[in-house]
Structure 1
Amino acid sequence: MFAWILIGLISGWLAGKILNGNGYGMMADIGLGLLGGIVGGMIFEVLGVRAHNFIGAILMSTAGATALVIATRIIRDEI
């Protein structure tokens, strides 16, 4: 559970930095990172890719969190 929170925190922060924003706050970034892990897992599962280590999990989760941040910005009409 601690590893999931750590991965969520790192990937949420990275997604905010990738998209040139300040993020949505620490709790929202963790939430986006955790949800991003799920979304990233589904995306990469379709592609046949799996994370076998901590770095791979962060990269996969960051990709999903970035997709979620883009989607929320589109929905909120910020793009």
Structure 2
Amino acid sequence: MGLGLGWIGWIIIGGIAGWIASKIKGTDAQQGIFLNIVVGIVGGLLGGFLLKLVGVDMTGANIFLSFITCLVGAVILLTIVQFFNRAKK
């Protein structure tokens, strides 16, 4: 993720992406702002990793593409967590 946003920018993008992903997956009531930020940032790492696997280079990506990557990664992450939570029950 080659944007020069700094850690505050990634917290903001991660928080927004994590919050929207939690709304999409219906987990917002269970998560607070901190967990939304964590989900968004980890989702961004996951999304970037998956894009790298298929040969997409995110170096120099604009903020919109970075946000979409975080959002999609966060939705995937929440889907995986929900799958394992259902399997435990």
Report the TM-score when normalising by structure 2: 0.78
- Deviation larger for 27-36 or 13-22: 13-22
Match of 1:7, SS state, is: helix
Matched-pair identity in % = 29
In the alignment, is residue 11 of structure 1 matched against residue 20 of structure 2? no
Give per-residue Cα distances to partners, 1:35-69, cap 9 Å, x unaligned. Answer: 00110000011122244111111100111111110
Counterpart in the other structure of 1:46: 53
Letter in 2 for 1:2: I
> Where in structure 2 are there 5+ consecutive unaligned residues?
1-6
Deviation at residue 12 of structure 1 after TM alignment: 0.1
Match of 1:76, SS state, is: helix
Which structure 1 residue ranges, 4+ long, deviate > 4 Å from structure 2? Answer: none
The number of residue pairs the alignment matches comes to 78
Q: CA RMSD in A?
A: 1.6
In 1, the alpha carbon distance for the partners of 2:56 and 2:12 equals: 22
In 1, the alpha carbon distance for the partners of 2:57 and 2:34 equals: 26
Report the TM-score when normalising by structure 1: 0.87
In 2, the alpha carbon distance for the partners of 1:29 and 1:63 equals: 14
Greater C-alpha radius of gyration: 2
2:73 to 49, 64, 76: 64
